[in-house]
Structure 1
Amino acid sequence: MISLIIGAFFSILNETLLNIAFPQLMVELKVSASTLQWLATGYMLVVGVLVPASALLVQWFTTRQMFLGAMTLFTVGTLVCAIAPGFEFLLTGRLLQAAGTGLMLPVMMNTILVLYPPEKRGAAMGTIGLVIMFAPAIGPTLSGLILESLQWRWLFFMVLPFAVFSVVFAFIYLKNVSQPTKPKVDVLSIILSTIGFGGIVYGFSSSGEGHGGWTSPEVYGTVIVGGIALLLFVFRQLKVKEPLMDLRAFKFPMFSLTTILLIIMMMTLFSTMSLLPFLFQGALGLTVFASGLLMLPGSLLNGLISPITGKLFDKFGPRALVIPGSAFLVIIMWFFTQVTAETTKTTFLILHICMMVSISMIMMPAQTNGLNQLPPRYYPHGTAILNTLQQVAGAIGVALFIGVMSSGQRKFLETSTDPTSPAQMAQAMVSGVHNAFMIGLGFAVLAFLLALFLKRTQSAKE
């Protein structure tokens, strides 16, 4: 578990490590915000495309082979990012990092389901929550601290030795926990999965790039193609004897409910983490370091609370945590819709802390509860489904919210008497972020309504 946690922490950390550097990278690499978002969206897109195949790979390769292969890919990607001469090379390195992350997440989740009985999984998943929740949450803070005195390349140079250490540590200590069964490889399923998930995320990402938005054939065309491919993928999985991703896991009601709840939560989490740096630096005029520092307490608390919520889940079940957590999130998101350029830093600090606490009360308890209902043969498929949809939801969330923010900014400046003045530009940023947070509030309300239907689960019989 230590081997897996070390590797996963640094790979997942990279999902948000660059977010706070976006305004700086826009200037240095001479690209727009919507182009630059591909460093975040592309990362999650690759993870989302790769994770469906992980259910198959986990059954084809040993734990050691999967983890060492994933970490080696991630390490090579980190090196490419560190020495990248321009945006294209930086994006290539990010995609290599993402390939490593996409293969690692399901290995970690599947290992927990194999090693721990259902009554102890909450605490184990809580420890993993330190990684899955804490790493992306603390990414902006760490990068803010680094960027205050060093160039953006150090965001990767500093991760590199830890990645190498993780490979060496795992090579020495990591043991295999499952035996490969080598099921049949269905190539058509892999193709449909890649086109389906890839098309939908690409379409959403392109919608914010200003080429006509949703009226552009490139945008709605890829979403339609992706949607059709996904439908064909679903039919294919229900038809073949050995599916790539066994969607019969959805016949277990709490697993289905958990999946929808986690999709909403990931869209809210990743989009909020992307919006706040723009708001802090664009509207409040804060430095990169100050922005990172403002998000530090919430990030730390989020990581520290995850193991506690895991233990509370083992004792009291999901409803005692998820219902109050989601109610709390609705209140926090409403407050975020009320912020202005005059809102104090203390208010932002408190709101961010409260949001991270509420998310830690929802994510891991709900996820553990959903997976607990599955019979053992569905473990690789259940973890693949949850990880795939969370990553795709995060990618769509970032694209959607940054698109809404950019659109709100444009509309405000079009009606402005002096669109070039710093005060008006700050107001435009606040206006755009307001629009995005209103959608976030809608998601939070939906999460609360779903939480009311949660029930404690036992492992179901086939």
Structure 2
Amino acid sequence: MRAPTPTTPSPYAVLRWLVLATFIVILNETIMVNAIPRLMVEFDVTARDAQWLSTAFMLTMATVIPVTGWFLQRVTTRTAFTVAMATFMTGTLVSALAPVFWLLVSGRVVQAAGTAVMVPLLMTTLMTVVPEHDRGRVMGNVTLAISVAPALGPTISGIVLQWTSWRWLFGLVLPVAAVITVLALRRLKNVGETKPGAIDWLSVVLAGLGFGGLVYGLSGLGEGAASAVPPVALVAAGLVLIGLFALRQRSLQKRDAPLLDLRTLAHRTFTLSLSLQAVSFLAMLGAMILLPLYLQDVRGLSPLQTGLMVAPGGIAMGLLGPSVGCAFDRFGGRPLVVPGSVGIVAALVVMSRVGETTPYAVIVGAHLLLMVSLAATFTPAFTLGLGALPAHLYSHGSSLLGTAQQVAAAVGTAVAITVLSSRAADLATEGASPDAAFVGGMQTAFTAAAGIALLAVVFAVLLPSRVPTQPGVDAAAEPVAAPA
């Protein structure tokens, strides 16, 4: 194929705009972390109520993402992008102007509904336009949007909150999102072909109640508060409904009309990649929850200082993305994911030894090691997992990966907070000071996270270095010219 000319834009150009848009929308998943204490005072709500700003976002993502596999096959790239960004901007505007707390939560729900479409749209488009030999390099750049944005959320919010109102967390994002949308729609081209078909509403209901109930129940375990329905019962009910959803999809697959095609799980490499990413995401979210609490509650740092402490890790992850992608193209996945998964465990072990007077350099170093290790893991895992699928399953594989990330985020939050609270309460009963009890609980929580992260090492060892050639896998990805 001839090189792109001024009148023949590179097929990669579509990805640049999708990456920018995805970075902006995913950033909002964690941007509220440092604002919760201020919102509790302004709206006179409890800490449990304030956590709904994060819980509602994850809950909506987990509920909507399973539908995106079907949605992306029925509409064009431009239509999907327009719907996602319009929904996201509407939620952002509602959140910025919200006069009462629950309207703010509603705005977050609308934001999340738009965000839920963007990641599967980006990944599906990437797998369609990028040939297999170049996917590692391109995926490395895409990692900036998918993995770095949530890591930088607390840093950016800390800087904004130091100088302005929490409303500017949305007020600054809205015009940026609007400009990206307008510019992108002037250049965005449709990729792939649409596929007609009616939606199965029973599947939508089962997915919404199942994944939503599971995430809500896990979040309730993390909060540790009494409720009308025990969180354990919600988790159990969610798992039962997800099982019914899976049975329904198997039935619909016989007519080639599933809402979320679970035949993706029949591909061993994809399933291993899915498991590795879920465990890694769990570790990342656990650290993102625990470290800010420790730095502010025990060490007395401000939101700005806390954000700056974790900034090096997020920046390093972003800068390493392209290098990791190029290394994957050259050496394959295993030389990256195995050391990366071991690094995740090592970083969590170091964090499990952090005490009341641990030097800040040690904390920054451990966090940096965690982020670098995650960078070495995410890009190869994404590329290997989706690359193992035939082209017609790209959108469903992307949706399943997104769903797994949201469930892992809820599990990570629940494990971190539940273990922290339980151990801290035991130590307080034994006579420990509040700070000592908190630190003891945090150390136990990081130890538990390190134990769970050992599974990532197992999955990494089992992953192949490269995807075996399969009929139809790259049928939609002809070699195209690389971008300038």
Change (3 A) 1:427 1:30: farther
Structure 1 counterpart SS, 2:143:
helix
Q: Which moved more, 1:34-43 or 1:153-162?
A: 34-43
* Counterparts of 2:290 and 2:49, CA distance in 1: 15
* 2:223–2:417 contact (8 Å) kept in structure 1: no
Find the counterpart in structure 2 of residue 283 from structure 1.
Answer: 298
* Counterparts of 1:263 and 1:188, CA distance in 2: 27
Cα deviation code 1:273-309 (max 9, x no counterpart): 1211111000111111110111111111110101111
Find the counterpart in structure 1 of residue 391 from structure 2.
Answer: 376
* Counterparts of 1:290 and 1:221, CA distance in 2: 40
Give the deviation of 1:205 after TM superposition.
1.0
* 2:212–2:238 contact (8 Å) kept in structure 1: yes
* Counterparts of 1:416 and 1:458, CA distance in 2: 59
* Counterparts of 1:399 and 1:87, CA distance in 2: 23
Q: Which amino acid in 1 is paired with 2:43?
A: L
Find the counterpart in structure 2 of residue 359 from structure 1.
Answer: 374
* Counterparts of 1:35 and 1:413, CA distance in 2: 25
Cα deviation code 1:257-277 (max 9, x no counterpart): 111111111111112112111
**Is the counterpart of residue 76 in structure 1 residue 85 in structure 2?**
no
* Counterparts of 1:356 and 1:38, CA distance in 2: 26
> What TM-score do you get using the length of structure 1 for normalisation?
0.95
The structure 2 residue matched to 1:211, chosen from 213, 221, 225, is 225
Q: Which amino acid in 2 is paired with 1:321?
A: L
Find the counterpart in structure 2 of residue 193 from structure 1.
Answer: 207
Change (3 A) 1:27 1:433: farther
* 1:373–1:458 contact (8 Å) kept in structure 2: yes
**Is the counterpart of residue 250 in structure 1 residue 259 in structure 2?**
no
> What TM-score do you get using the length of structure 2 for normalisation?
0.90
1:214-363 residue pairs with structure 2 within 5 A?
217-240=229-252, 241=255, 242-363=257-378
Structure 2 counterpart SS, 1:16:
coil
Q: Which amino acid in 1 is paired with 2:460?
A: A
Find the counterpart in structure 2 of residue 135 from structure 1.
Answer: 149
Give the deviation of 1:212 after TM superposition.
4.6
Q: Which runs of 5+ in 2 are unaligned?
A: 1-14, 473-484
* Counterparts of 1:66 and 1:394, CA distance in 2: 25
* Counterparts of 2:99 and 2:443, CA distance in 1: 36
**Is the counterpart of residue 62 in structure 1 residue 76 in structure 2?**
yes
Q: Which amino acid in 2 is paired with 1:224?
A: A
The structure 1 residue matched to 2:437, chosen from 414, 419, 428, is 428
Moved runs in structure 1, 4+ residues, more than 6 A? none
Structure 1 counterpart SS, 2:223:
coil
**Is the counterpart of residue 402 in structure 1 residue 421 in structure 2?**
no
Give the deviation of 1:23 after TM superposition.
3.2
Give the deviation of 1:173 after TM superposition.
1.4
Structure 2 counterpart SS, 1:389:
helix
* 2:222–2:413 contact (8 Å) kept in structure 1: no
Find the counterpart in structure 1 of residue 467 from structure 2.
Answer: 457
Q: Which moved more, 1:268-277 or 1:357-366?
A: 268-277
Task: Determine what percentage of the aligned residue pairs are the same residue.
Answer: 39
Give the deviation of 1:459 after TM superposition.
4.4
**Is the counterpart of residue 101 in structure 1 residue 115 in structure 2?**
yes
The structure 2 residue matched to 1:124, chosen from 138, 141, 146, is 138
Give the deviation of 1:89 after TM superposition.
1.6
Q: CA RMSD in A?
A: 1.6
The structure 2 residue matched to 1:169, chosen from 173, 183, 187, is 183
Q: Which runs of 5+ in 1 are unaligned?
A: 418-423
Give the deviation of 1:231 after TM superposition.
0.7
Q: Which amino acid in 1 is paired with 2:188?
A: L
1:11-26 residue pairs with structure 2 within 5 A?
11-26=25-40
Find the counterpart in structure 2 of residue 178 from structure 1.
Answer: 192
Aligned residues: 454
Q: Which amino acid in 1 is paired with 2:452?
A: F
Give the deviation of 1:170 after TM superposition.
2.2
* Counterparts of 2:358 and 2:37, CA distance in 1: 21
* Counterparts of 2:259 and 2:471, CA distance in 1: 22
Find the counterpart in structure 1 of residue 448 from structure 2.
Answer: 439
Find the counterpart in structure 1 of residue 43 from structure 2.
Answer: 29
